[in-house]
């Protein structure tokens, strides 16, 4: 059964980032769903504070922009991983890989615990459901109504969240200015339209 936005769990927003690394290669080759993996080095304490499972939030790539994302943290029991992994999936179609680029994530809600599946088809179905939940929620997340009724953030947490978003967006704007005036203007318009929806008093 498809999980709705109302079934997700609001959490205190948290941030993680680093260069994109190569994973097991299953996202693209086996699942047809590429991920932008991050190393867990230096994040062991942070990861113990959060349950394994599927989250969603915002992702900023140093060379291009800010994107919606859904992320899996855990051992991927279907594939029986030995090591815990961080596997964000940016909800955008990219023409090429971006290994080594700086990726910064702001995680805002929890969709579900990590789970095993009886078949690859069942796993894929749930992955697509997770994407739909994330897309739907993030389309409304920065509106005042959603922040108030869904996330239940206190004013301090809301301020921290929006400050993080502003920080990663400014980082992207600077990088785009260096890369190309055209790309910078495109990114700037997107960022300003997103910030117009923010409520930070």
Catalytic residue numbers read 87
Six-digit token string for 158: 């809301």
CA atoms within 13 Å, Cβ hemisphere of 74:
18
Q: What is the DSSP letter of 120?
A: H
In a 10 Å sphere around its CB, with 0-12 CB exposed, 13-18 middle and 19+ buried, how is residue 193 labelled? exposed
Among the listed residues 6, 130, 14, the one whose alpha carbon sits nearest the alpha carbon of residue 72: 130
CA-to-CA distance for 3 and 8, rounded, in angstroms? 8
Q: At 189, list the tokens.
A: 């318009």
């Amino acid at each position: 059964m498809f999980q709705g936005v109302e079934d997700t769990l609001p959490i205190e927003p948290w941030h993680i980032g680093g260069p994109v690394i190569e994973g097991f290669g299953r996202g693209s080759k086996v699942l047809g769903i590429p991920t932008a993996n991050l190393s867990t080095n230096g994040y062991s304490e942070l990861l113990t504070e959060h349950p394994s499972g599927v989250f969603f939030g915002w992702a900023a790539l140093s060379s291009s922009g800010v994107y919606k994302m859904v992320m899996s943290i855990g051992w991927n029991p279907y594939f029986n991983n030995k090591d815990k992994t961080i596997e964000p999936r940016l909800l955008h179609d990219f023409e090429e890989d971006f290994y080594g680029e700086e990726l910064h994530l702001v995680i805002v809600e929890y969709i579900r615990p990590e789970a095993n599946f009886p078949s690859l088809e069942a796993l894929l179905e749930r992955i697509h459901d997770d994407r739909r939940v994330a897309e739907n929620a993030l389309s409304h997340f920065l509106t005042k109504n959603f922040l108030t009724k869904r996330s239940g953030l206190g004013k301090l947490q809301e301020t921290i969240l929006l400050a993080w978003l502003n920080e990663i967006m400014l980082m992207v704007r600077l990088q785009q200015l260096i890369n190309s005036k055209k790309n910078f203007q495109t990114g700037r318009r997107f960022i300003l339209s997103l910030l117009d929806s923010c409520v930070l008093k």
